[in-house]
Amino acid sequence: MHIPDGYLGPQTCIALFLLMLPIWYVALRKVGRQLGTREAPMLALLSAVSFLVMMFNWPVPDGTTAHMVGGTLFAVILGPWAAVIGITIALVIQAFFFGDGGITALGANCFNMAVIIPFVGYAVYRILEKPAGRVIASGIAAYIAINVAAVAAGFEFGIQPFIAPGYCPYPYTISIPAMAFAHLTTAGPVAAVVTALVVGYLEKSRPDLLGIATTG
């Protein structure tokens, strides 16, 4: 899902970076108020986990690869605003030091993976938490969230032929199905299973960690 340099035109890159500025500002203020000495190490740990899982890519039958992000798991434990900060840190390190995701596309990548996934995943999780239980709710939420983000990235790719010719050459009629297929069939199921397994483990061994997002 990492968008490299050269695929999004300057209009899209600038617009999404500017959109991220107030989101980062609000996230920093909220996280500074809500997270104490107990939660701060968890923020660093979950950021490292997100960084790690994004480095593992699975091949997709259409010739591309896909990976999970860990945004829903992050949001379930610490809340979506903390996930914005933690995943942004992971994406910045990947872009500048590993060449995974473009520097010019950093705003777009952060919007897709550090905003859409945590907030969609957290919203779905909270809706399903009581009727379905934490484990099932987290798995479904992770699956839905990563696919919403994939479609958003596909749309960003797909509008380039119309607003910035010379960048991504594939219109949204091609880019959205391609992104959706990769994540519906590969990254989505992996994200669902991994997230549900981790939440299930925490529910049995450290249920207090699953309450940080609602009490912090």
- pLDDT digit string (tens) for the chain, length 216 residues: 899 999 999 999 999 999 999 999 999 999 988 777 677 888 888 999 898 888 877 777 666 677 889 999 999 999 999 999 999 999 999 999 998 899 999 999 999 999 999 999 999 999 999 999 999 999 999 999 999 999 999 999 999 999 999 999 999 999 999 999 989 998 999 999 999 999 999 999 888 888 666 654
Gap between the Cα atoms of 8 and 25, Å rounded = 24
Give, rounded to a whole angstrom, the gap between the first and last alpha carbons of the chain: 30
Single pTM value for the model: 0.93
Q: Provide the CATH topology of domain 10-215.
A: Arp2/3 complex 21 kDa subunit ARPC3 (1.10.1760)
Gap between the Cα atoms of 143 and 146, Å rounded = 6
Gap between the Cα atoms of 71 and 86, Å rounded = 9
Asked if 27 contacts 138 with a C-beta cutoff of 8 angstroms, the reply is no
